Structure 1
Amino acid sequence: MQNSNSFPDWHGTTILAVAKDGKTVIAGDGQVSMGATVVKGSARKVRRLAGGKVIAGFAGATADAFTLLERLEAKLEQYPDQLARACVDLAKDWRTDRYLRRLEAMLIVADKSSIYTVTGVGDVLEPDQGVAAIGSGGSYALAAARALIDGDLDAETIARKAMGIAADICVYTNGSLTVETV
């Protein structure tokens, strides 16, 4: 039995970023689960920031992710066209601020030329192969996208196919996708 003071066991996110041929795509599935029950199938976990020049996807607690996205938006206003600096500054604040360090979420953030995975332990990671993923089905989507990246497919097609593979394998991932491109 679950302690009434604890949060429910929320699962259900796969976020994938793919960069290829000058385009960057972030795709996110729509499933939110509580234990073995799907409570929502069409959540929107990918957002546009900085007037559409930046896209971000989140995994984890939704309210926490929205707080982080708001902070990232402020950093992007402070450092326009400097995505790496904004992400590093966010990660620094996230790690050192007493309130922020309790937030349970992860972000993938991208612009036309860069992808970063940002975590609450101070990580700002740029992928080697132009592919990054987070969330319950992240490993499956990442493996599928890496297998497809060297072929003739464009970034969006790779992201959609890889997310489909993740949805077929991970019970916390569905095929209801939000896809944004820069």
Structure 2
Amino acid sequence: MTTIVLVRKNNDVVVASDGQVSMGNTVIKKTANKVRKIEKRNVIAGFAGSTADALTLFERLESKLEKHAGNLTRAAVELAKDWRTDKYLRRLEALMAIADKEKSFIISGTGDVLEPEGDVIGIGSGGNYALAAAKVLMDGDKSAEDIAKKAIKVASEICVFTNDNLSMEKI
């Protein structure tokens, strides 16, 4: 279980996650990093789901970005198509929140590539709590980074599968 929040504000894009890894009702690790940055393409991604699945999808996203010259929209659609139709990938259970300087998407194994209406995405077990908190904070003068931190903190106080050990990437 995971909480990922993506916040886009004032030309900054931040993806933040909690650090908790759970198996059933047991906390296995408190300091996992569920956010990655593809430096070469200036893309950041957060993963909700199993670690092996997330790493597999991150590698696929990176190869799609290379293939499509950094075009995030095209890479996201191609990854979603593969995820939905490939016999191996179809079994992966995860969600991804990805962004570059211009666009943000949620990608799922059902073939969804969703662009949010606002400038905030929340996924994972505490994603809706983080999303609600971030949406409220967007109206103030807080930075994208501060909003993401506070959103994860709020989610950690409500969702038993979320802690407040923060990992964050910013572009």
TM range, smaller chain: over 0.9
Shift of 1:151: 1.0
**SS in structure 1 opposite 2:122?**
strand
Partner of 1:84: 73
* Mapped partners of 2:157, 2:117: distance in 1: 26
Deviation per residue, 1:146-165 (Å, 9 max, x gap): 01111111100000011100
1:26 aligns with 2:15: yes
So what's the TM-score if we normalise by structure 2? Answer: 0.97
Partner of 2:121: 132
After superposition, the CA RMSD in angstroms is 0.9
* Mapped partners of 2:122, 2:32: distance in 1: 18
Structure 1 stretches of at least 4 aligned residues deviating more than 3 Å after TM superposition = none
Q: Give percent identity, aligned residues only.
A: 58
Partner of 2:3: 14
Shift of 1:81: 2.7
- On the 8 A contact 1:50/1:77 being kept in 2, the answer is no
1:66 aligns with 2:55: yes
1:43 aligns with 2:32: yes
Deviation per residue, 1:119-173 (Å, 9 max, x gap): 0001011111110011010000000000111111110000001110000111100
* Mapped partners of 1:82, 1:142: distance in 2: 26
So what's the TM-score if we normalise by structure 1? Answer: 0.92
Gaps of 5+ in 2: none
Say which one has the larger Rg.
1
How many residues are matched?
A: 171
- On the 8 A contact 2:41/2:65 being kept in 1, the answer is no
Partner of 1:96: 85
Gaps of 5+ in 1: 1-11
Shift of 1:50: 4.7
Kindly provide the amino acid, as one letter, of the partner of residue 101 in structure 1.
Answer: R
